[in-house]
């Protein structure tokens, strides 16, 4: 027994995974898990008092691996990758099933999502109350107007697309069947009139530019709130810095209240160089206050936005996955019907001369003309589907949503690591990460506005 416990006689016997093959869909997950493995290791080291050093020194608790995952060498990354890969293979060998699904949206530990992140605020210094209430009043009105304008405009686009498509299809039936009926004429004129009314109402009501402006105003309220909170986190108790922060906050509220379409156009056309984060005042910085502001920011700003991007990416991809295929499918269906019509007509011309049988000739007439009607009507249906996709924002790139979601997920992880470092508390890192979050979200909003302006709208 003692010989078996002798370290010199130790022989590793890992689970045999030589016959286990992981699906290729897991490659991206393995990389993410490898990064998480490094983050967990780094967090544990930092909490135990370790810090970065060019060489490992156990006495000074310094380690060269305490850097971001991206800064590791490929050999060091492979250690994490192989650890994750072997763990997954061992799980499969033990009878577990490993498959990929969309991950849940991140959330700060112990926190739940707020229904509206603008309605919850941390405690603010004296003097910030009045501009906060002004900002909230502007936001509530803008948010309500944006939602109503979007709802009205979507209905107008949906009705005009449906009625317009129906009118053209009825006209195609009457044209190719060479048989105008009173019912068909009434249906065609009614559909066309209803579509025209919907378009005219949408144009004169200007729902699209109005809801876009109000949505931009509401988002600018968010930017004003959270930029102010980042500045507060950096200011600490420095009265001069707090005074500058309050002045900037009031100025932002006044600008948001006066926003118009020219300001919206200017915002979309700008692509500013990212600003530097506010300088942290170390002399007056209070750790407990910074933790409060940071926890609020992670919960209300980053986690809520990450949840939104995650939910939208799933919803858009699930709906648009089949809707986006309809226009090309209908187009190629139109080509197929035209080819079938050509083939049947050519075959009859050479092999099946006109018959004296009236019923047979009527059947041939109707079948051939219906093929022509179908070939002409299918692209019209495809155009209607394209208009609806644009009106309901299905044309937005779902990959963008997922990219922003993953960026915020990583940012949340970095903020939580920075704020949970015990005595080694890095206020500069926390403020920098929060500032990066605002720059990322402002850039996303600018991209969204440009996409909406370029979409196939009217009104």
Q: Is 19 helix (H, G, I), strand (E, B) or coil?
A: coil
> Could you list the pLDDT tens digit for every one of the 459 residues in the chain?
444 555 666 677 778 777 777 776 676 678 878 888 888 888 777 767 778 788 888 888 888 888 878 778 887 888 888 888 888 877 777 777 776 655 544 444 333 334 578 888 888 888 999 999 999 999 999 999 988 888 887 777 777 777 877 777 777 777 666 555 556 667 767 777 777 777 777 677 666 788 889 999 999 999 999 999 999 888 887 888 889 999 999 999 999 999 998 998 899 888 877 778 888 876 545 567 777 888 888 888 888 888 888 877 776 666 666 667 777 787 887 788 777 767 776 666 666 655 555 555 555 555 666 777 777 778 887 777 777 666 655 555 677 777 888 888 888 888 877 776 555 557 788 888 889 999 999 998 888 888 777 765 554
What interhelical angle do 129-177 and 239-257 show, nearest 10? 30
Sign, CA torsion 13/18/21/24: positive
DSSP 75: H
Closest CA to 143 of 118, 113, 114: 118
The whole model's pTM is what? Answer: 0.63
Encode burial over 386-424: b for 16+ CB neighbours within 10 A, e otherwise: bbbbbbbbbbbebebbbebbbbbbbbbbbbbbbbebeee
Q: Tell me the CATH number of domain 2-93, given options 3.90.1640.10, 3.40.50.261, 1.20.59.10, 1.10.490.160.
A: 1.10.490.160
pLDDT tens digits, 367-405: 666 777 777 778 887 777 777 666 655 555 677 777 888
Q: Where are the domains of the chain?
A: 2-93, 129-324+394-454
């Amino acid at each position: 027994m003692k010989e078996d416990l002798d370290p010199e006689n130790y022989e590793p016997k890992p689970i045999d995974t030589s016959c286990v093959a992981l699906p290729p869909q897991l490659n991206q997950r393995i990389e993410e898990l490898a990064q998480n493995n490094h983050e967990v290791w780094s967090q544990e080291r930092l909490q135990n008092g370790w810090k970065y050093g060019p060489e490992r020194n156990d006495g000074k608790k310094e380690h060269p691996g305490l850097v971001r995952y991206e800064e590791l060498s490929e050999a060091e990354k492979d250690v994490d990758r192989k650890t994750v890969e072997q763990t997954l293979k061992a799980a499969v060998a033990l009878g577990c099933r490993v498959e990929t699904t969309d991950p849940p949206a991140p959330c700060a530990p112990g926190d739940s999502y707020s229904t509206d992140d603008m309605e919850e605020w941390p405690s603010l210094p004296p003097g910030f109350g009045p501009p906060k209430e002004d900002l909230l009043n502007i936001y509530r009105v803008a948010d309500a107007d944006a939602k109503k304008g979007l709802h009205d405009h979507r209905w107008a686009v949906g009705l005009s697309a449906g009625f317009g498509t129906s009118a053209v299809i009825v006209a195609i039936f009457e044209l190719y069947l060479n048989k105008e009926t009173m019912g068909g004429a009434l249906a065609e004129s009614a559909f066309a009139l209803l579509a025209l009314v919907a378009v005219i109402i949408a144009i004169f009501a200007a729902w699209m530019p109005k809801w876009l402006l109000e949505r931009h105003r509401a988002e600018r309220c968010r930017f004003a709130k959270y930029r102010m909170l980042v500045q507060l986190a950096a200011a600490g108790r420095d009265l001069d810095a707090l005074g500058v922060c309050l002045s900037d906050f009031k100025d932002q509220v006044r600008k948001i209240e006066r926003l118009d379409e020219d300001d919206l156009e200017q915002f979309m056309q700008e692509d500013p160089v990212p600003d530097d984060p506010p300088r942290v005042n170390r002399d007056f910085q209070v750790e407990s206050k910074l933790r409060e502001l940071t926890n609020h920011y992670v919960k209300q700003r980053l986690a809520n936005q990450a949840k939104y991007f995650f939910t939208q990416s799933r919803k858009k991809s699930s709906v648009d996955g089949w809707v986006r295929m309809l226009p090309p499918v209908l187009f190629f269906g139109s080509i197929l019907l035209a080819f079938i019509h050509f083939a049947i007509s050519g075959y009859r011309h050479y092999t099946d001369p006109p018959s004296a049988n009236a019923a047979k000739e009527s059947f041939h007439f109707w079948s051939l003309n219906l093929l022509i009607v179908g070939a002409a009507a299918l692209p019209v249906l495809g155009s209607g589907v394209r208009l609806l996709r644009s009106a309901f924002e299905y044309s937005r790139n779902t990959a963008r949503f997922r990219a922003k979601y993953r960026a915020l997920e990583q940012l949340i992880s970095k903020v939580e690591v920075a704020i949970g470092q015990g005595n080694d508390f890095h206020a500069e890192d926390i403020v920098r990460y929060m500032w990066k979050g605002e720059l990322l979200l402002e850039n996303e909003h600018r991209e969204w506005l440009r996409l909406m302006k370029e979409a196939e709208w009217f009104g």
